[in-house]
Amino acid sequence: MAGNGTSGRTGGTREPRLRGELLATSILASLRDWDAHGYELSKRLESSGLPPFDSGTIYRTLRQLEETGLLSSFWDTSASGPARRMYSLTKAGELFLSGWIDVLQKYQTFLQNAASGLQSKIEVADTATEPASPASSAE
């Protein structure tokens, strides 16, 4: 759950958390086709099925991305209510995101290969522990 202040631990196991460059890359990807304010980004990431994150981290990450030139922002005063800071992806942000997408695709292939190898080992172990069939015992 985003912003719930939980430690990310359940029953002694550590849940994956969305933070660091993975959070930054997720924010940049979310801004690829539309401008948004922090709350919208938080809700979009939360509903996307990604691991949980601390919603306060979103705003710190947005400021860091803007300071490094990967995002730009402007104040939206068109809606009723208070002005909102809207964020948009810069050309530098698009280049950074493209590089990360390439890295993540390679990482996905690596993990799929690792999972496939693990599944093969599990299948071999399961086969080795199965009791012999009566037909093979009679021979």
Report the alpha-carbon distance of residue 48 to residue 65 in Å, rounded. 21
Q: Where are the domains of the chain?
A: 15-124
Instruction: Give the predicted TM-score (pTM) of the model.
Output: 0.68
Residue pLDDT, tens place only, 27-83: 999 999 899 999 999 999 989 888 888 888 899 999 999 999 999 999 999 878 889
Calculate ∠ Cα 35-69-103, nearest 5°.
85
Q: What is the mean pLDDT of residues 81-100?
A: 94
Q: What is the pLDDT of residue 72?
A: 97
Q: How far is CA 61 from CA 29, 57, 66, 69, 74, in A?
A: 14, 6, 8, 12, 16
Residue 52 phi, psi dihedral angles, 5° rounding: -65, 160
**10 or 130, higher pLDDT:** 130
**In CATH, what is the architecture of 15-124?**
Orthogonal Bundle (1.10)
